[in-house]
Amino acid sequence: MDTSQAFGLIDIIVVGGGFYVLYAWYMLMFKGEIKEGILVPKSTSPKRCKDLAGYKAYMGTRTLIFGIVVIISGAVGLYQDYVQKLPVAVYLAALGVFLACVIWFAACSKKAEKLFF
């Protein structure tokens, strides 16, 4: 396996993770279920949520944005790996946005955990 194939595999996992985030968003917004591991840590029981409506309002849009950014970032990586090489600045910008969004979402999740659990 060369580096292009390895990065391609990672990008496929990233896109899959993005779709899992969108699934967690769907379950939160339409079924009222909080997915452990993505929205709250495994050590926090979703049943302990004090205000589900407030949690949905706080985390709903943030989770949707995060899922979309993750999918787009993975798609840019797949395009880079399998279709055509992108300029380095474009690839690094996509990577930077992805990493910034991961940090932002982690901070939002931590804050939501403190506010609603």
59 within a domain of the structure (yes/no):
yes
pTM over 0.95: no
pLDDT tops 80 at residue 9: yes
41 within a domain of the structure (yes/no):
no
55 within a domain of the structure (yes/no):
yes
38 within a domain of the structure (yes/no):
no
51 within a domain of the structure (yes/no):
yes
Contact 86, 79 (CB under 8 A): yes
14 within a domain of the structure (yes/no):
yes
Q: What is the pLDDT of residues 14-72, one digit of tens each?
A: 999 999 999 999 999 999 999 999 999 988 899 899 999 999 999 999 999 999 999 99
Task: Count how many domains the chain has.
Answer: 1
Q: Which range of residues forms the domain containing residue 94?
A: 3-33+46-116
84 within a domain of the structure (yes/no):
yes
Predicted local confidence at residue 1, as pLDDT: 55
